[in-house]
């Protein structure tokens, strides 16, 4: 094995998110943070080889059927059929192709297909609520699913979660890993939800809300919502990166 | 530039539906020559096990290489396509297990050598963002002593939270517990 002198190691750098973008781990309004948020300050980790690389999980983890949550069982699930589509980008505007997205969600009645969910709403034998997709060469993804219902939870008196779909993304580097939730426009529960409101910055919070699209809505078939996901970039424009060390 | 970044939200209590894979804990198949097991438990601030968490690991191969285009040293020799990524949900008792290969040491742009390690993401209900830690190995004492990340943690007891120890009588089986909060709180990183 040849070892290059360390000076050859020019690594990309992924600037950290500005204040207020990500929720503070200690967010008392969301009670489960109380015993789980670390008390010690985080230690700054310089980004070296392990951090600027990451799992390149793509087509081998996914079949075409995984992106259509309405066709995973013999019958059609109940509820409002929707298309959820958008792009995975980095904050420099570059699309992230061939990257894995994983989603999970409640059914139309607001019930998860999970043994821990005791909400007295019906399970749907034709809906598991789990999907996967890989972005295309322009970073696009597309899911077909059922609009999830709102559901109560035990955080405080009369607590209800706004309708949401859980999204998990890898990007191309360990620094870019992100798990979040996508919401729907004009949900009346937004003002009351401590998880949504744990994001300090109002503009950042709004970025979790998908947009209804009449253009992408499919006549006589399904409403469409669009939602772009922006992962950390390297602070370089795509042009600079082309002329860079690589 | 952080403008336009998508914020993080918790995985919630039902992450077990969407994130675990049947082959997730097996970075390599059990019985692979050189395979090691890293296992441990995830605890909350009351010392109770966290049964709804997910542990993800990312690491170099045994030669200290990454099969990744941003590693400026190029693709690893042999092209073995080592997956290098593991994920395991925690059980009722907070336990998890990853079967993988020992990572190699790494060169660093500042000239220091990084001791063999895995990067770890911990996701759970009650965590609004992942928390990140590292697993080092107790049997790499000399490399650990020269590691720039460990050197940056002055408190010895805190540094020790990053070091997996071999199980008695089995040098290929390591224990690494993760304490989210309180006594013996694991060191977590801002990456």
**CB pairs A-B closer than 8 Å:** 257
- B91-113 per-position pLDDT tens digit: 999 999 999 999 999 998 888 89
C-beta separation of B57 from B39 below 8 A: no
Query: Would the CB atoms of A235 and B1 count as touching at under 8 Å?
Result: yes
A112, A141, A183, A225: which is the annotated catalytic residue? A112
pLDDT score for B117: 98
Share of chain A above pLDDT 70, in %: 93
Q: Where exactly are the structural domains of chain B?
A: 15-179
User: For this structure, is A166 an active site residue?
Assistant: yes
Task: Tell me which CATH code domain A64-242 carries.
Answer: 2.60.130.10
**pLDDT, tens digit (0-9, with 9 covering 90-100), for B15-42:** 999 999 999 999 999 999 999 999 999 9
Residue among B107, B57, B55 nearest B84 (CA):
B57
Question: Among A22, A113, A142, A166, which one carries the catalytic annotation?
Answer: A166
Res A235: pLDDT: 82
d(CA A103, CA A121) in angstroms, rounded, equals: 21
Residues of chain A contacting B70 with CB distance shorter than 8 Å: 11-12, 52-53, 172-173, 246
Among A49, A103, A198, A203, pick the best mutation site for testing chain B contact (most B Cβ within 10 A). A49
pLDDT 10s digits, A56-86: 988 889 998 899 999 999 999 999 999 999 9
Stretch B108-137: mean pLDDT: 96
**Active site includes A246?**
no
pLDDT at residue number A59? 86
pLDDT in tens, A10-37: 899 999 999 999 999 999 999 999 999 9
Selecting from A12, A103, A201 the residue whose C-beta is nearest the C-beta of B70 gives: A12
- Please report which confidence band the pLDDT of residue B80 belongs to, taking 50, 70 and 90 as the band edges: low
Helix (H, G, I), strand (E, B) or coil at A197: helix
Residue A103 touches partner B, C-beta closer than 8 Å:
yes
Report, at the CATH architecture level, how domain B15-179 is classified.
Sandwich (2.60)
Could you tell me if the ipTM is greater than 0.90?
yes
Closest by alpha carbon to A82, among A243, A240, A232, A225? A225
Q: According to the model, what pLDDT value does residue B109 have? A: 86
Q: Please check whether residue A132 is in contact with residue A64, taking contact to mean a CB–CB distance below 8 angstroms.
A: no
Could you tell me if B139 lies within 8 Å of chain A, comparing CB atoms? Answer: no
The backbone region for B143, taken as left when phi is positive above 0, alpha when psi lies in -120 to 50, beta otherwise, is alpha
* Range from A101-110, B1-10, B159-168, B171-180 carrying the lowest mean pLDDT: B1-10
Q: Is A183 among the residues known to form the active site?
A: no
- CB count within 10 Å of CB B181 equals 22
- A6 — pLDDT class (breaks 50, 70, 90): very low
pLDDT at A58: 84
Determine whether the interchain pair B7/A27 forms a contact, defined as Cβ–Cβ distance below 8 Å: no
The B residues from 15 to 54 touching A (CB cutoff 8 Å) are 15-19, 21, 44-46, 48, 50, 52
Beta-bridge partner residues of B135:
B118
B105 in A contact zone (CB under 8 Å): no
The band of B79, judged by pLDDT with boundaries at 50, 70 and 90, is: low
**With contacts defined as CB-CB under 8 Å, which chain B residues touch A54?**
58, 68, 85
Average pLDDT, chain B: 95
Among the residue ranges A149-163, B5-19, B71-85, the one predicted with the least confidence is B71-85
Binary contact (A207, B84; C-beta < 8 A): no
Half-sphere exposure of B76 (CA within 13 A, CB side): 17
- What's the pLDDT band for A160 if we cut at 50, 70, 90? very high
Q: Which residues contact A122 (CB under 8 A, 6 or more apart)?
A: A107, A109, A111
Is A5 a residue whose pLDDT tops 70? no
Q: Provide the sign of the torsion angle of the four alpha carbons B95, B96, B101, B106, taken in this order.
A: negative
Which of A7, A30, A38, A56 has the most B C-beta neighbours within 10 Å, making it the best mutation to test the interface with B? A38
* C-alpha count within 13 angstroms, C-beta hemisphere, residue A169: 31
Rounded Cα gap, residues A106 and A163, in angstroms: 8
- Asked if B146 reaches chain A (Cβ–Cβ under 8 Å), the answer is no
Establish whether A156 is a catalytic residue: no
Question: What is the average pLDDT across A49-60?
Answer: 93
Enumerate the domain spans of chain A: 64-242
The pLDDT tens digits of the residues spanning A199-245 come to: 999 999 999 999 999 999 999 999 999 999 999 999 876 555 554 44
The phi, psi pair for B16, rounded to 5°, reads -60, -20
């Amino acid at each position: 094995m040849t070892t290059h002198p360390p000076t050859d190691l020019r690594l990309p750098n992924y600037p950290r998110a500005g204040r207020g973008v990500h929720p503070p781990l200690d967010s008392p309004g969301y009670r489960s943070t109380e015993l789980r948020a670390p008390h010690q300050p985080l230690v700054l980790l310089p980004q070296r080889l392990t951090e600027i690389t990451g799992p390149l999980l793509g087509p081998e983890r996914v079949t075409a059927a995984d992106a259509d949550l309405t066709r995973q069982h013999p019958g059609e699930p109940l509820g409002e059929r929707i298309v959820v589509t958008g792009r995975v980008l980095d904050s420099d505007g570059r699309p992230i192709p061939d990257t894995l997205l994983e989603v999970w969600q409640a059914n139309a009645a607001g019930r998860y297909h999970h043994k821990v969910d005791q909400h007295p709403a019906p399970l749907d034998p034709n809906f598991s609520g789990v999907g996967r997709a890989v972005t295309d060469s322009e970073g696009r993804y597309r899911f077909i699913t059922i609009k999830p219902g709102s559901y109560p939870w035990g955080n405080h008196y009369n607590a209800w979660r706004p309708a949401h779909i859980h999204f998990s993304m890898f990007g191309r580097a360990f620094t870019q890993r992100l798990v979040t939730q996508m919401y729907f426009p004009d949900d009346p529960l937004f003002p009351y939800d401590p998880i949504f409101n744990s994001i300090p910055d109002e503009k950042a919070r709004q970025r979790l809300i998908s947009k209804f699209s009449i253009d992408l809505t499919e006549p006589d078939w399904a409403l469409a919502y669009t939602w772009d996901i922006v992962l950390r970039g390297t602070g370089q424009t795509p042009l600079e990166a082309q002329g860079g060390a690589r | 530039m952080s403008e336009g970044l998508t914020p993080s939200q918790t995985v919630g209590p039902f992450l077990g539906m969407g994130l675990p894979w049947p082959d997730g804990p097996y970075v390599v198949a059990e019985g692979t020559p050189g395979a090691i097991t890293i296992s441990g438990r995830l605890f909350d601030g009351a010392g109770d096990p966290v049964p709804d968490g997910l542990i993800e690991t990312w690491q170099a191969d045994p030669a200290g290489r990454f099969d990744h285009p941003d590693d400026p040293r190029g693709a690893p020799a042999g092209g073995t396509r080592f997956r290098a990524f593991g994920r395991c949900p925690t059980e009722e008792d907070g336990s998890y297990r990853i079967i993988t290969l020992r990572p190699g040491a790494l060169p660093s742009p500042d000239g220091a050598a990084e001791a063999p390690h895995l990067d770890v993401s911990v996701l759970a209900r009650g965590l609004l963002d992942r928390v990140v830690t590292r697993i080092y190995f107790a049997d790499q004492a000399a490399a650990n002593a020269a590691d720039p990340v460990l050197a940056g943690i002055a408190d010895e007891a805190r540094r020790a939270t990053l070091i997996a120890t071999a199980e008695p009588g089995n040098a290929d089986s390591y224990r690494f517990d993760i304490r989210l909060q309180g006594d013996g709180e694991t060191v977590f990183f801002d990456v």
